[in-house]
């Protein structure tokens, strides 16, 4: 095996690491207890029965002393084929120098990481951006803008490849230009993109960062995988930015895990009427840092800011360039979505006039029409 992905391990070593994570009943705790006692997986499978039994019990000791099952052997063979298929495919074990130190410093680092992409991305400082899957347009715009700014400062943006805030954060980082590094931590096998509509996004991520997973190839999505994924998101990051979150959400789990690790927690406030703001407001009450710009994050971290040229879509329209009637409507809309009937009543105009105004403002990029028929200011028009 001469593939670059395998140079850190001999074939025997790699097989032993894979088998340790694939053996049923061992689990992360059992595997780490075994590694603490014997050092490397090879030595575990060569150990005496009595030594193994003292750590994992009689049944599992017998299992480890036997040759691995056909199903495990087939999974190992499939994994080796995956490694050899692409030079950007890697497996990092706890014994690898390239394994991210930030994860090693946590109390429960994954025994191994499957990685598809640029292994050098772990050398960058990183911030996680997380939030609701069913996010508002404003929330997605915030995630995109924050991620773009962070990536322009040559920081890596970490998220979970989910719909909503996660996807917007990855896309924002990718839109930053020459830097654009982002890591997607997956709750499935590395070769199973979830959700499926994010395949193109995943392809872009691997070219400018990495997809990573601790789960074996072909592992399907399952509810209990996502808290496991979230601990990796928290562990890899200097801090976590929560953009939108309900009071009971996976994003708050990620924030709590990051807080337990001594990482910084940031939250973007929102409307007091929005259920997706309540999780952020709860975090702020509990001590999370309220942030309104990406620069707020760096000020809190005490990190110098790289001056980045504004992108065309970031240049706000000057108030004087917006017709007065449009300014009045923008002031009425504020920053929360509004139904046209409310605007029409305030302006005392008929249906046709209201429709013409909204269409004209939408064409000028001042407002956007949401799927439910309401309208909202587009960022950069305030």
pLDDT of residue 221: 94
pLDDT of residue 8: 53
C-beta of residue 227 within 8 angstroms of C-beta of residue 118: no
pLDDT of residue 325: 76
pLDDT of residue 379: 63
Q: What is the mean pLDDT of each run of 10 residues along the chain (382 residues)?
A: 52 94 95 96 96 96 96 97 96 95 96 97 97 90 94 96 97 88 98 97 96 98 94 98 93 96 96 90 97 93 67 46 78 78 86 86 84 78 48
Q: Are strands 112-117 and 367-369 parallel, antiparallel or unpaired?
A: unpaired
C-beta of residue 276 within 8 angstroms of C-beta of residue 282: no
Instruction: Report d(CA 378, CA 136) in Å as an integer.
Output: 12
**Model pTM above 0.85:** no
Inter-CA distances, 190 with 82, 110, 187, Å: 10, 14, 9
Instruction: Report d(CA 240, CA 293) in Å as an integer.
Output: 14
pLDDT of residue 265: 98
pLDDT of residue 370: 82
Joined tokens for residue 120: 């050098």
> What is the torsion angle, in degrees rounded to the nearest 10, for the CA atoms of residue 27, residue 32, residue 37 and residue 41?
80
Tell me the helix, strand and coil percentages in the chain, rounded to 5.
Answer: 50, 10, 40
* Strand segments (E) across 219-366: 239-242, 264-267, 289-290
- Which residue stretches of 11-57 are H helix? 11-22, 27-38, 41-45, 49-56
**Which residue in the block uniquely carries the two structure tokens 């692409």?**
86
Instruction: Report d(CA 175, CA 152) in Å as an integer.
Output: 9
C-alpha 223 chain-centroid distance: 16
Which domains does the chain possess? 8-85 (1.10.150), 117-301 (3.40.50.450), 324-377 (1.10.10.10)
């Amino acid at each position: 095996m001469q593939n670059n992905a395998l140079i850190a391990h001999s074939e025997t070593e790699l097989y032993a690491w894979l088998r340790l994570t694939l053996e049923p009943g061992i689990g992360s705790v059992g595997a780490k207890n075994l590694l603490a006692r014997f050092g490397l997986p090879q030595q575990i499978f060569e150990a005496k029965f009595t030594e193994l039994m003292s750590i994992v019990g009689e049944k599992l000791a017998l299992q480890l002393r036997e040759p691995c099952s056909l199903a495990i052997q087939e999974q190992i063979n499939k994994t080796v084929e995956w490694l050899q298929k692409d030079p950007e495919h890697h497996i990092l074990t706890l014994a690898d120098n390239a394994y991210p130190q930030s994860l090693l410093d946590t109390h429960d680092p994954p025994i191994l990481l499957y990685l598809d992409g640029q292994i050098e991305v772990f050398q960058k400082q990183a911030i996680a951006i997380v939030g609701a899957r069913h996010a508002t347009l404003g929330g997605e715009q915030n995630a995109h803008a924050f991620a773009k700014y962070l990536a322009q400062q040559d920081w890596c943006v970490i998220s979970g490849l989910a719909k909503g805030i996660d996807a917007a954060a990855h896309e924002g980082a990718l839109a930053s230009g020459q830097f654009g590094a982002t890591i997607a931590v997956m709750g499935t096998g590395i070769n199973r993109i979830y959700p499926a509509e994010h395949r193109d996004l995943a392809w872009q991520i691997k070219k400018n960062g990495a997809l990573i997973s601790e789960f074996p190839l072909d592992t399907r999505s399952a509810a209990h995988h996502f808290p496991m994924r979230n601990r990796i998101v928290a562990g890899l990051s200097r801090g976590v930015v929560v953009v939108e979150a309900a009071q009971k959400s996976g994003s708050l789990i990620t924030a709590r895990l990051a807080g337990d690790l001594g990482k910084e927690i940031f939250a973007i406030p929102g409307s007091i009427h929005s259920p997706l703001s309540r999780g952020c407001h709860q975090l702020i009450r509990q001590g999370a840092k309220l942030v309104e710009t990406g620069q707020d994050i760096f000020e809190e971290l005490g990190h110098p800011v790289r001056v980045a040229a504004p992108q065309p879509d970031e240049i706000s329209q000057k108030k004087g360039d917006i017709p007065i009637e449009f300014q009045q409507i923008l002031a009425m809309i504020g920053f929360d979505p509004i139904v046209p009937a409310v605007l029409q009543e305030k302006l005392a105009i008929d249906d046709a006039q209201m429709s013409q105004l909204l269409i004209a403002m939408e064409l000028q990029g001042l407002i956007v029409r949401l799927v439910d028929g309401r309208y909202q200011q587009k960022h950069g028009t305030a």
